[in-house]
Amino acid sequence: MYHQIASRDDVNIAYYTQSDLSLLTTSPELMIVGINPGSFSSYSDQRRNENWSYLYKNPLDENHLLKGNYCHEKGKPSSWDNHRKWKYWSGLRHCLSKTYLLDTIDNDNKIIITNASFFSTKKANEISEELLIETIPQTLNLIKISNPKHLLFLSGKRCFERLNSISKLSGLINFEYRHVCGNIYIGNLNGKLCIGIPHPAYKTNEELNLVASVIPYLINVKGYDDIDEELINKECSKQIEAYKERIINHKKTSGSIDKNTN
């Protein structure tokens, strides 16, 4: 399906997923979903690039999506081989530091890293709603087939807003979500509980500490209706206050800078 869409003149965007799905041996413990890959090239250029070896001269090779972000120059590791050096990986480990999932994310046999759409753009807001609607069924199929125990969305608020919009516009999915605290959300995607957190690449320690404190409560409930936001806000009150104070101080600092530059 992606090949047919990417081949259209009005699209022509490169596509790929992230983790190597061929390494999975059982249903994964954790599936992490972003909005879409954060890079850009045309699909026509991608197909002419020998570093995308499965796609090169053979655009229908199923290994292109199965093997994930396998692009690499000869003699060098692939992009996925370097994923533990990605900017957000240490932040992700911080977010999961109070759960058993901290060890899980280092085991490629037990995780899936992917995106709501596999089309790559420099910024997530550059992918159109139309392309998301056309391509999200592939990700939904991946969720259904792999049946991950836990489902985590990065840039959770934006991702959930777009999923909610797709739910209303297309009827392809059943989706609802609500706020927990900070930038943390919970969702119900076709009956499956999902967690939305801020993207961990550029977040403060206070925000990462808050996420790390809340996630243990969210992964230990049966479903969407079993989450007790009041309890979470009570138990994580110190982290919530630290997060709020950081925001207030940042606004004060930004305001002082603006006054000095005027």
Q: ∠ CA(154), CA(160), CA(165), 5° rounding?
A: 145
pLDDT at 262 exceeding the cut of 60: no
Alpha-carbon distance of 119 to 12, in angstroms, equals 10
* pLDDT tens sequence across 93-140: 999 999 999 999 999 999 999 999 999 998 888 888 889 888 988 898
| The two three-digit tokens of residue 16, written as one number | 């790929």
pTM above 0.85, yes or no: yes
Kindly state the DSSP code that residue 194 receives in the 8-state scheme.
Answer: E
Angle between helices 205-218 and 237-261 (to 10 degrees): 150
**Percent of the chain residues topping a pLDDT of 90:** 68
Burial track 130-168 (b if 16+ CB lie within 10 A, e otherwise): ebbbbbbebbbebbeeeebebbbbbbbbbbbebbeebbe
Strand order in the sheet with 192-197: 111-115, 30-34, 150-154, 192-197, 184-189, 175-181
**Percent of the chain residues topping a pLDDT of 70:** 96
Which domains, from first to last, does the chain contain? 2-91+109-202 (3.40.470)
Instruction: Enumerate the H helices of 124-236 as residue ranges.
Output: 129-146, 156-170, 205-218, 229-235
In which band, very low, low, confident or very high, does the pLDDT at 256 lie, cut at 50, 70 and 90?
Answer: low
In which band, very low, low, confident or very high, does the pLDDT at 149 lie, cut at 50, 70 and 90?
Answer: very high
